[in-house]
Amino acid sequence: MPQKAGRQKEIQARIGFGVAAYATESSLTYDFLGTKITDRDTSGAATRHLNIDLRYEFHRRFNAGLDMKFGSYLYDPEENNEGKSNSYAVIGLGAEFNIVNKPAFRWYLGLGFNRGALSIREESTILNYKEEAIYSGGGFKMNSGILVYLGNSPFGFNFNIGYDKHTFNLDTYTQNGSSQDLRNIEGELIASGVDMTFGLVFRIRH
């Protein structure tokens, strides 16, 4: 069925910068001669990130596409963080429902599922020491946002905020470039919290 005049289907490309605040729970479990010993820690973390999202509108109310996020966890400036660094990348599928779907304004609800990788690094030039732990795992998000276009132009602004959760499991651990045996070690990091992004959107209508 053809759409109403002035409201064509769209392909959207979005890019935005954001921040997030998470509650975190991490654990390391050691298997020592058949006895498992677990060290747990609960804390909080803040992140900054770059989002790149692609959407195809297959119905006036629904669209779906690819979500990508690249960022890092922020360290407490009051602590000694010399030699520490980290980065993460997340890629997944997202879908949205338009509550309001006017030509120049959208209010949407979103749901997405993804998989991510987190790298945590620490090194000391004085001790000639370097270590890296790489985690990976799945996650999901639920959010709400608005799109505001500049009149009838292809350019606009995107803002969204929502709940974001990731569960990372320890995959590899290296010291000075040498991989360590993890057969008796299990590591897990769970992060859940509020994610917020603001950025630009470009649309192609057809």
Contact 66, 94 (CB under 8 A): yes
Quick one: DSSP state of residue 1? -
Domains and CATH numbers, the chain: 11-205 (2.40.160.20)
Q: pLDDT 10s per residue in the chain (206 long)?
A: 444 444 578 999 999 999 999 999 998 888 777 777 788 889 889 999 999 999 999 888 999 999 999 999 998 777 778 888 999 999 999 999 999 999 899 999 999 999 999 999 998 777 778 999 999 999 999 999 999 999 999 999 999 999 999 999 999 999 888 888 778 888 999 999 999 999 999 999 88
Q: What is the pLDDT of residues 89-124, one digit of tens each?
A: 999 999 999 999 998 999 999 999 999 999 999 987
Half-sphere exposure of 128 (CA within 13 A, CB side): 0
Average pLDDT, rounded, for the chain: 90
With contact defined as beta carbons under 8 Å apart, do 43 and 191 qualify?
no
Q: Model's pTM, two decimal places?
A: 0.87
41-47, long-range: CB < 8 A, 24+ apart:
45/21, 45/73, 45/74, 45/191, 46/19, 46/20, 46/21, 46/22, 46/73, 46/74, 47/19, 47/20, 47/22, 47/71, 47/72, 47/73, 47/74, 47/88
